[in-house]
Amino acid sequence: MKISYNWLKNYIDLDPIDHSPDVLVDTLPLLGFDIETYEKLGPPNMPNVVVGQVTSYQAHPDADRLRCCEVSTGEESALRQIVCGAKNFNSGDKVMVALPGAVLPGDFKIKKSKLRGQPSE
């Protein structure tokens, strides 16, 4: 039987400091419960990937399929301009932002660059 940690928390008072999933996996067998496997699900650890909010966007002046977006990432610095090809968002939407230095699956390294003459951070 598969049981999620979040489901288990609905029925057992688990203090997050003392009973992380890793500690629980080590403790339950000592109490007589058998654990065959343990899987961590969820997003991978990806440094420099944050949640941002699109404040505005406009069509790229030199490309039909690109947009120039202003995105707030919660940093104290000014908004970031990001050039992208996505069309499935609007102003005010929260989006994932890969900041310069991030490495995405496939060893795709994010860096500041210009796309058709427009800077993209």
Same domain, 59 and 28: no
Place of tokens 């005010």: 92
- CA diameter of the chain: 66
- What one-character-per-residue DSSP string does 8-22 give? HHHHS---TTT--HH
61-68 average pLDDT score: 94
pLDDT for the residue 60: 94
* Sequence letter at residue 100: P
Contact between 110 and 99 (Cβ < 8 Å)? yes
How many CA atoms, within 13 angstroms, populate the side-chain half-sphere of residue 116? Answer: 14
Contact between 99 and 73 (Cβ < 8 Å)? yes
Domain of residue 17, residue span: 1-42
pLDDT for the residue 1: 79
The region, left, alpha or beta by phi > 0 then psi within -120 to 50, assigned to residue 43 is beta
Mean of all residue pLDDT scores within the chain: 87
77 pLDDT higher than 80: no
**For residue 38, what pLDDT band results from cuts at 50, 70 and 90?**
confident
pLDDT for the residue 105: 84
pLDDT higher at 107 or 14: 107
Same domain, 55 and 109: yes
* Sequence letter at residue 87: K
pTM comes to: 0.62
Same domain, 31 and 57: no
DSSP letter, residue 79: P
Structure-token pair, residue 100: 């310069």
Same domain, 36 and 59: no
Same domain, 38 and 68: no
Domain count of the fold of the chain: 2
15 pLDDT higher than 80: no
pLDDT for the residue 42: 65
